[in-house]
Structure 1
Amino acid sequence: MSERRVALVVTAVGGVAFVVLAALMVPWHPVPGGTPDPAPATSVFTARQIARAEDYAHWARIWSWSSLAVSLVVSCVLGFTRWGPRLVGRLPGWWWVRVVLAVAAVVLVGRIITLPFAVLLRRHVLDNGLSNQAWSGFAADLVRTEAVQIVATSVLLVVLVGCARRWRRAWPAVAGGLLGGLVLLGSFVYPVLVEPIFNDFTSLPEGTLRTQVLQLAETEGVPVNDVLVADASRRTTTLNAYVSGFGSTRRVVLYDNLVDDVPRDEALSVVAHELAHAKHDDVRTGSLLGSAGAVFGVGLLALVMGALAGRGRPSMREPAAVPLVLALFAIGTLLSSPVQNAISREIETRADVDALLVTRDAASFEAVQRELALRSLADPTPPALSQLWFGSHPIGLTRIAIARQLAERGF
């Protein structure tokens, strides 16, 4: 079977697997009675709060989207012109060393060129009191983030190029299977390998809150041996909690400022939301969808690379192909964002509904959603295109409307 036919089969298998998994595992109608329209902003926030949030979000979008656009341009220039292959051609070492060095070079070039936008956004965050972290800490986090990205991307590219060199026709199938497995492995080990690079974690101290959290977990049928607290307040003033990992690495993590600064009933509302993610194994769902997406992406990549190779572009077997592959990754990630975020919003909505049904405390849920929005200066009514493309969660006013609707119907 030719490489193109193998790529077509891999693309079809990955695409069908993604659609089937999404149909079976994603809660497409999570709200009883249907998702209501967002609550009026003026019923939750004052006019001054709305104006401040809109102003902050406006400039945050300008700096973020500008950085994204410039980053995409840089990737495409390196990937679709001769500059990228020339850069890789000057790198020394075995083929896999050149792949790693090429990944590092492309990532660092993109970071250096977009650094002014990161600094402007950081200045904007500091001016609005959303962080108390020193610039040195911000720089250290930036270095850590780039290092993690370079390592993870290098592993993927070494696998891709290595498979293409070893299996000249069947490489899309082999690489698709390996990368699909790596996505699952990455989600599994992320809590124990990557998260400790950025935060220190301690067990939630003995006391009323810990007891209530464990009781809530028992009510939701979620086995929890420990609840962790991250020292997030040294970096941000915003509130958050999350679930990561699955199986033996699954963990429920609360930001320390959520524990310290928020009334207990409101904190428990957030915990109930995260426990709902754990109950439904949402991290595993996302990992399986990501794995199927990786298979689909490898098949599509093989088709595009095969077509471009006939036009004088480097083949997948050459380290010189790395800039082109990274450019295609960047384009694919941007184009697939609406699908990924649509799925994420439905999963997040189900967790909200479950939390409300378990706690039966719409008032605390609404209060904490209001506090979360105020702490992060979230735009109450973001542009529709922005929410469609980049909104991983329902907007706060929709979440509040859901709470009000369920309360009116007696849960």
Structure 2
Amino acid sequence: MSVQRLLLICLICTGVALLVAIAVTTPWRPLPEPPGGFGHPDAARDFTAAEIARGRALARAARPPAYLSMALSLVVALVLGLTPAGAWIVQTVARPLGGGWVWRILLGGLALALVGRLVTLPFAARLEVVRRRYGLSVQTWAGWWVDVAKSFAMSTGLLLVVVLALYALIRALPRAGWLLAAGGGALLVVAISFLYPLLVEPAFNKFESMPDGPLRTSLIQLAERDGVPVRDVLVADASRRTTALNAYVSGFGSTRRIVVYDTTVRDADPREVELIVAHELGHAKRNDVLHGTLIGAAALAAGVCAVGLLMTWPPLLRRAGADSAGDPRSLALLLAVVAVLGTLSGPGQMLISRRLEARADVHALDLTRDPDAFIRMQHRLAVANRSNVTPNPVLQILFGSHPSAPERIALARDWARLHVEG
């Protein structure tokens, strides 16, 4: 059996399993229909004209740098991957060290990642300017550059390890290498999900235990009432970067902890903090992180099979100036294929994310049984985070990871009608 036929069978099997898992486990309707039907989101009912205008203005100013950065990143990846330019870069940077395949992967991958980051850096800086102008970012430029460097170092370091292992596999085992890579990639997704709170979060924020007091006690009691054991309640020093409000539940099992931004502790009232944490406890209660990890692992396995199919297609290899999938000169093609597949899968990921967030909202309402406070909390979050409460429907479908604030408020009113009239 040829490599392509083997990969096609693997892609079909993993793809079908993935689609079935998504269809069965995604909460497509987290709330039963209340008497009289579902309510319609209405931003004007809960937000002033000034609040709506401010969110729109920020979104309008942020869209050009954000979307141009995404588009340019994809264009650069395609240009490098579908022309001999990428292969030339890979060979040239490794030549001073002998040009062996390992050096071509490591130095070539670093060079390609650096090119991709440099072409989008002006747009990232412009976006930071916009965030500062609207009072959302308070970070110094020195701190911003440090974060950029940390992010690039961590993501590129992981990328180089992964592609080096992939090329080693497909060079040593041309037939079975892709299948082993699919399994290894799935395991890597699980490992990263578990290690992220321990390795990545501390690189960007400092955490301290919340001092003993009524708020800490209420959050621990809330988690206990919900049956979600937490190890600690931590406060993150988010205020040195942003004025945004947020909280989340991090870790698994005995390492699970509630993390609250110091901006949230400072600017939100205790009941609103409880509602935010109740939402995050909903993710923990329903194992949404584990669910997302397993779905991501299956998606990556299917994606590796799809990448293998394209990377073993002779016309693409010829365009990239490579002889085979194991040829290091195909590295730019590999990154281009991954970029395209990631872009195409984005709207599906956002759809699932919005459904999970809606279910967590329902969980918060079930746990606290306080829809009025939930509505106040959503209003405060939207105003503090300068959210666009009237997003473009198409852009919301493509890029929205959460329901809009009016949608979440309408959900709370539906919950109230369902429980009061029920």
Q: TM-score category by the smaller chain?
A: over 0.9
1:229 partner SS: strand
TM, length-normalised to structure 1: 0.96
Aligned residue for 2:375? 366
Among residues 278, 283, 289, which one is paired with 1:277 in the alignment? Answer: 283
Report the secondary structure of 2:260's partner residue.
strand
Deviations 1:37-73 (A, max 9, x none): 5421111111111111111101111110011111111
Name 2:119's counterpart in structure 1.
113
In 1, distance between residues paired with 2:258 and 2:13?
34
Task: Look up the equivalent residue of 2:2 and give its one-letter code.
Answer: S
1:341 deviates by 0.7
Deviation track 1:74-98 (CA, whole Å, cap 9, x = no partner) reads 1111111111000001132543332
Rounded Cα–Cα distance in structure 2 between residues aligned with 1:100 and 1:245: 32
SS of alignment partner, residue 389 of structure 2: coil
1:226 corresponds to which residue? 232
SS at structure 2 position matched to 1:329: helix
**Aligned position for 1:21:** 21
**Structure 2 SS opposite 1:177:** helix
CA shift at 1:246, angstroms? 3.0
**5+ residue gaps, structure 1:** none
Alignment partner, residue 64 of structure 1: 66
Match in the other structure for 2:393: 384
In structure 2, the residue matched to 1:52 is 54
Counterpart secondary structure, 2:234: strand
Whole-angstrom distance in 2 between the partners of 1:294 and 1:97: 26
User: CA distance change for structure 1 residues 8 and 207 in 2, over 3 Å: closer, same or farther?
Assistant: same
Letter in 2 for 1:343: I
Alignment match of 2:412 (pick from 379, 385, 403): 403
Superposed displacement of residue 245, structure 1: 3.7
> 1:396 Cα shift?
0.7
| Secondary structure in structure 1 of the residue aligned to 2:93 | coil
Tell me the equivalent position of 1:32.
32
Q: Is the 8 A contact 1:345 1:391 kept in 2?
A: yes
Which residue does 1:138 correspond to in 2?
144
Deviation at 1:350, TM superposition (A): 0.4
Say whether residues 1:205 and 2:207 are aligned partners.
no
Aligned to 2:356: 347
Which 10-residue stretch deviates more, 304-313 or 392-401?
304-313
Post-superposition shift, 1:283? 0.5
**In structure 1, how many angstroms separate the alpha carbons of the residues matched to 2:23 and 2:150?**
37
Partner of 1:82: 84
Alpha-carbon distance in structure 2 between the residues aligned to 1:98 and 1:389: 36
Match of 1:147 among 138, 142, 153: 153
Number of equivalenced pairs: 411
2:171 aligned with 1:165: yes
Letter of the 2:81 partner, please give it. G
> Residue 340 of structure 2 corresponds to which residue in structure 1?
331
Structure 2: state its 5+ residue gaps: none
Q: Which residue of 67, 70, 73 corresponds with 2:75?
A: 73
- Cα separation, partners in 2 of 1:160 and 1:51, compared to 1, 3 Å: same
For 1:163, the aligned partner's letter is L
* Letter matched to residue 194 of structure 2: F
Provide Cα deviations, 1:283-327, integer angstroms capped at 9, x if missing partner.
000000000001100110111111145752422212221111111
Q: CA deviation at 1:248?
A: 4.5
SS at match of 1:332: helix
2:26, 2:355 within 8 Å by CA — same for their partners in 1? yes
**Percent of aligned positions with the same letter in both sequences?**
44
Give distance in 1, aligned partners of 2:68 and 2:316.
Answer: 34
Distance 1:39 1:23 in 2: 26
In structure 2, distance between residues paired with 1:38 and 1:139: 43
What CA RMSD, in Å, does the superposition of the two structures yield over aligned residues? 1.6
Aligned partners of 1:30 and 1:353 also within 8 Å: yes
CA distance in 2, matches of 1:23, 1:249: 30
Structure 1 residue 260: deviation in Å?
Answer: 1.9
Alignment partner of 1:410: what SS?
A: helix
Structure 1 window deviating more from structure 2 (63-72 vs 17-26): it is: 17-26
Residues 1:310 and 1:52: Cα distance change in structure 2 (over 3 Å): closer
Quick one: which amino acid aligns to residue 175 of structure 1?
A
Alpha carbons of structure 1 residues 337 and 279: separation in structure 2 relative to 1, 3 Å: same
Encode CA deviations 1:179-235: one digit per residue, 9 max, x unaligned.
Answer: 010000010111101111101111122111111111111111101121221111111
Sort the Cα spacing of 1:87 and 1:354 in 2 relative to 1 into closer, same or farther, 3 A: same
Give the TM-score normalised by structure 2: 0.94
**Alignment-mate amino acid for residue 294 of structure 2:** L
Instruction: Point out the more displaced range, 151-160 or 162-171.
Output: 151-160
Q: Distance in 1 between matches of 2:333 and 2:417?
A: 54
